[in-house]
Chains A and B, each alone.
Chain A
Amino acid sequence: MTSAILPLSLDNVSYEIGGVRLIKDMTCTFEAGPRTAIIGPNGAGKSLFLRLCHGLIRPSTGKVSWHANDADGQAPGDAQAMVFQRPVMLRRSVSANVDFALKLKGIARDERVRRIDDVLARAGLRRLKDQPARVLSFGEQQKLALARAWALRPQVLFLDEPTASLDPAATHSVEEIIEAIHGEGTRIILTTHDLGQAKRLSDEVIFLHRGRMLERAPTEQFFTEPKNDLAQAFVRGELLWWRLGKDNRKGAINDREK
């Protein structure tokens, strides 16, 4: 039994590089349960947001905190995992890639063997277990990245545009795996540019624009009645942009950004 690391709280979190604030005053909480899709145009800060939550980068101001460790003391870092847009495979076999992640968590050999077999079978990769991971197709590598994260039995799984470069068939397979992982009680927080995917894979949507959280709503409500004007434009498929020049930031959408 592991201690619950959720809720995850962001308290007035900002992140800046070279004086440019890329995440601005973000305050929110993630409880156990629903799946969250984070959407927004390029540069909205979606990937940075995930990295801040996962602990890969530290906020410039504010605080990211997990529920305090309980008596059995599992550190939050050990109970969360992340899958990146581009799968990073070690130069070893498919099963050795999963094994490496499990070894890092100090899991005993028998249990590692059992989990590797289990997740590779469920991800449809068992027949490839002895193949070098880097010769797999891009879609298979992404499935392996998910399987590697799945084997860790994370309480929270962050997914950074997991199907951004995949065709519909591979996207379908990956989405099935994500659903299966969620079915075992893992909290899913993913970023996506694919509004259809956000509808399919989430129970709530967070809309980011230029480093700010502009709306957070249940998925159905977000797509039928978004409250924020930029979110409305985004859902309609309009391009959120601003012009530079003499009359900097023209137009209704851009007025909202001042």
Chain B
Amino acid sequence: MDDFGNALSAALSLVVGLDDQLLEIVGLSLHVSLSAVIIAAAIGLPLGAAVALFRFPGRMAVVVLLNAFMGLPPVVVGLIVYLLLSRAGPLGTLGLLFTPTAMIIAQVILVTPIIAALTRQVIEDLWAEYEEQLRSLGAGPGRALTALLWDGRFSLVTAVLAGFGRASAEVGAVMIVGGNIDHVTRVMTTTIALEVSKGDLALALGLGLILLALSASVNGAAFLIKETAQRRHA
């Protein structure tokens, strides 16, 4: 118990003192996760909306796959990206393995199905309500899609935040494709895993506290956005 108390107070002093190492790790974590979420949103939002709107052969299979891929195991994704980017892999010549870019690629693969699947549900519900009106006004598929994405924006923020939650919390994929290299690919989750195995609980706990705060902030923001939207736009 004393060990835990000591570790906690050391962790707090690292956080409060804005420790350089800690800031570097947090900064890289945010860079990787935010980049991955932005790219995943750019792919997942229109993809999910298109699956909701358009009827095409195999649509149900796509819906099932998107839902299934929401639970992709990070280590499996990490392994696949590792194989693709390794020297002997098809994309080995790009030299991306053990770089932040490789970590972003792995997280994009993890997060895109989450955003796309949640977007599909939101847009499908909205389409059921809007379809006749939009078709009556003469909106083609493209205009209908953009209108639905805009009108569903508050619910879709929640989908993107769910993706961010997944990206910032996962450790398996970034560990495999990033290699947890100090000052290069070391992020919060991989550092926590490493420091715990070394028995240095202070940095691990400090980062853990920041991760928790980040998670709470993300959920708080999602709640506030939805509440505000419901008050403003019913």
Contact indicator B233/A100 (Cβ below 8 Å): no
Report yes or no: A56 in contact with B135, Cβ–Cβ below 8 A: yes
The one of A78, A81, A91, A104 that contacts B151, using a Cβ cutoff of 8 Å? A91
Task: Please indicate the chain A residues that have their CB under 8 angstroms from the CB of B229 in the complex.
Answer: 91
A88 and B139 contacting across the interface, CB-CB below 8 Å: no
B183 at the interface (CB under 8 A from A): no
**A105/B151 in contact, CB under 8 A:** no
Q: Is A101 an interface residue (CB 8 A)?
A: yes
Size bracket, chain B contacts: 10 to 19
On chain B, the residues within 8 Å of A41 by CB distance are: none
Query: Chain B 222-234, CB within 8 Å of chain A: the 1/0 string?
Result: 0000000100111
- A84-B132 contact, Cβ under 8 Å, with A77-B138, A104-B138, A134-B233: yes
Nearest-CB distance from B145 to chain A (Å)? 13
Partner of B234, one of A51, A101, A135: A135
Interface residues on A, range: 10 to 19
Name which residue of chain A comes closest to B135, CB basis: A56
Minimal Cβ-Cβ distance residue in A for B126: A91
Flag whether B31 is at the interface (Cβ < 8 A): no
**CB nearest to A101 among chain B residues:** B137
Interface string of B120-149 (1 = CB under 8 A from A): 000000000110110111110001000100
Chain B: residues with CB nearer than 8 A to chain A? 129-130, 132-133, 135-139, 143, 147, 150-151, 154, 229, 232-234
Query: B-contacting residues of A (Cβ < 8 Å)?
Result: 51, 54, 56, 77-78, 81-82, 84, 88, 90-92, 100-101, 104-105, 132, 134-135
Question: 9 closest pairs, A vs B, by CB?
Answer: A134-B234, A88-B133, A91-B233, A91-B151, A82-B136, A132-B233, A101-B137, A135-B234, A104-B138
